[in-house]
Structure 1
Amino acid sequence: MQRAPSGWEEYKKLVNEIFQMIPDKEMYRDAALERCRVCSVVGNSGNLINSHYGPMIDDGDFVLRINRGPTKGFEQDVGSKTTHRIIYPASAVDMDNSTHMVFFAFKTADLKWLAHMFTSHNVERGKMPVKSGIKANVNLVMVVSPSFMKYVHHQWLQKHGRYPSTGFMTLIMALHICDKVRVYGFGADRQGYWHHYFEKILPKQKTGHHGGNFENAILKELHQRKKVELYV
């Protein structure tokens, strides 16, 4: 965003436009000794197949699902409840009226997409195909601050990879808003290849621009320190 040709002024203009459209309010500041908010963070790894984790996932107060991960037809393994859907433009899907749309903006064009998603549907075409409109409750849209994304990349990942994966940022976000975090559907196979529970991907797909191995090591350390519960 900082290197965009239009620079800081366009960024500020887009932010102002977005927060005229969606609620600008603090959320999840209700931490208290008597509260124990349990969150299920559900990734899309093929290791969810035949896991039978569905009921345990749905038992969470919040169920955070990442990108396109579906529930229909996979309820036994991934559950059916979704309170928060984490997306960016290329991974956007329709969602019901009770689901929070949690938006990650990696570049200025992503903010432009969001600014027009519920109004003109006039979406710029980039390298990745994106929808010109989705079904979502505009009153439940949440935009994650780019400063938080930078914090995750610098402090948690020590700049491994070009930028964090949406899955890892969702995990760190959950640590900030939940009292107990349960993690499902994360991880690659021993060769470092990734596949999803809902589709067949060529077996030579690796982690791309993300520091997948480093992210996985941090997740395992969090599990060992009992900061999260990791289910594989």
Structure 2
Amino acid sequence: MKFKMRALIFLLCVTTICVSWRGYMSFSLPQNKRPCACERCLSEDDPWFMKHFNKSVEPFLSANYNISEDIFNWWKPLQGAKGNFSTFRRKVERLFLMVPPSPEVLESSPDRCRTCAVVGNSGNLRKSHYGPLIDFHDVIIRVNAGQIKGYEADVGTRTTHRVMYPESSVDLDNTTHFVLAPFKTVDFDWLTGALTTGFNGGPHWGVRSKIKANKHLVMVLNPSFMRYVHDMWLEKKGDYPSTGFLALILALHMCDEVSVFGYGADSDGNWSHYWEELMNKKLKTGAHPGDTEYRMIQELDEQQKLNFYTGF
């Protein structure tokens, strides 16, 4: 117990020092020469990082943005989407009649340092006591059904964005952005229905008919962004990126400083969730290239492009 308290105090002290140093750096350097007010800005040129990072890729769909048919043809087989390109576009247009036509994103600025915490669902979060450190960030991105109640000391209490797909959806409070990760055309129909009168997708699709979420805070990941993550960050390994890895790369596009928690296997080597007992001890990552994703997170940490907290 004493070790845990010392570790927590150490983490908070390090965070305070980093914030103070960030403030000093932002004061001492000419702001018009730097893209952000952090000690180090992600968008600053770095050959290794820029080999993967493409700032011009739009992370979110909007009412005025149309993906190419080439992107659609890559995206369609991921989970067996029905319909053609025209059908896809009609469903997207219908959704944007209900949700904001363009995403609400905090833009970079020389006098601002945007900090992100990306909270995965790994069992390595148990007894980590990362909660206060996670809550310290400006933007806190959670993934799928990651739970908070009862785990506050380890995972924090705040959420600004939650990245989900229909099968993993949970109710959200009125201040949290619902970031839809669409893997098939019917996902757009589901969101339109689930936020209004209810969705009936038949007895064989196990999703909730309705969810609680603020429709004015809905954001939709761009299939072009999903392909970019798969091609540039994962070098086309696996069928497609996991929701968690999409959330992590999204943070690199939304923030100037990124901290990552709750990714990777637990201490026993199992890909488990921190809130539930793992029944299948041979559980792997399926279509997602879990090992490749984990190695990339480690490399980003080694290159000092994010801070990776692996748990105690």
Q: TM-score, normalised by structure 2?
A: 0.71
Alignment counterpart, residue 76 of structure 1, candidates 145, 153, 166:
153
Range with greater deviation from structure 2 (74-83 or 107-116): 107-116
Distance 1:205 1:53 in 2: 25
Check conservation: 1:192, 1:207, Cα contact below 8 A: no
The residue number in structure 2 matching 1:104 is 181
Change (3 A) 1:40 1:177: same
Distance 1:154 1:199 in 2: 33
Range with greater deviation from structure 2 (182-191 or 155-164): 182-191
Alignment counterpart, residue 123 of structure 1, candidates 183, 192, 200:
200
Higher Cα radius of gyration: 2
Alignment counterpart, residue 219 of structure 1, candidates 263, 280, 297:
297
Question: RMSD of the TM alignment (CA)?
Answer: 1.6
1:156 Cα offset (Å): 0.9
The residue number in structure 1 matching 2:16 is none
Alignment counterpart, residue 55 of structure 1, candidates 119, 129, 132:
132
Range with greater deviation from structure 2 (73-82 or 124-133): 124-133
1:110 Cα offset (Å): 1.2
1:159 Cα offset (Å): 1.3
Code of the residue aligned with 1:206 in structure 2: it is K
**Residue 21 of structure 1 aligns to a residue in which SS?**
coil
1:6 Cα offset (Å): 1.7
The residue number in structure 2 matching 1:139 is 216
| Structure with the bigger percentage of helix | 2
Matched, 1:22 2:99: yes
1:127 Cα offset (Å): 5.3
Range with greater deviation from structure 2 (206-215 or 3-12): 3-12
Distance 2:274 2:257 in 1: 25
1:92 Cα offset (Å): 0.2
The residue number in structure 2 matching 1:159 is 236
Mind listing any 5+ residue stretches in structure 1 that lack a counterpart? none
The residue number in structure 2 matching 1:93 is 170
Check conservation: 1:14, 1:115, Cα contact below 8 A: no
Change (3 A) 1:9 1:42: same
Instruction: Render the CA deviation track for 1:139-175: whole Å, top value 9, x for unaligned.
Output: 0010111111111111111111111000100000000
Code of the residue aligned with 1:131 in structure 2: it is R
Q: How does 1:25-36 map to 2 (within 5 A)?
A: 25-28=102-105, 30-36=107-113
Aligned residues: 232
Code of the residue aligned with 2:206 in structure 1: it is P
The residue number in structure 2 matching 1:209 is 287
Alignment counterpart, residue 148 of structure 1, candidates 220, 225, 235:
225
1:192 Cα offset (Å): 5.1
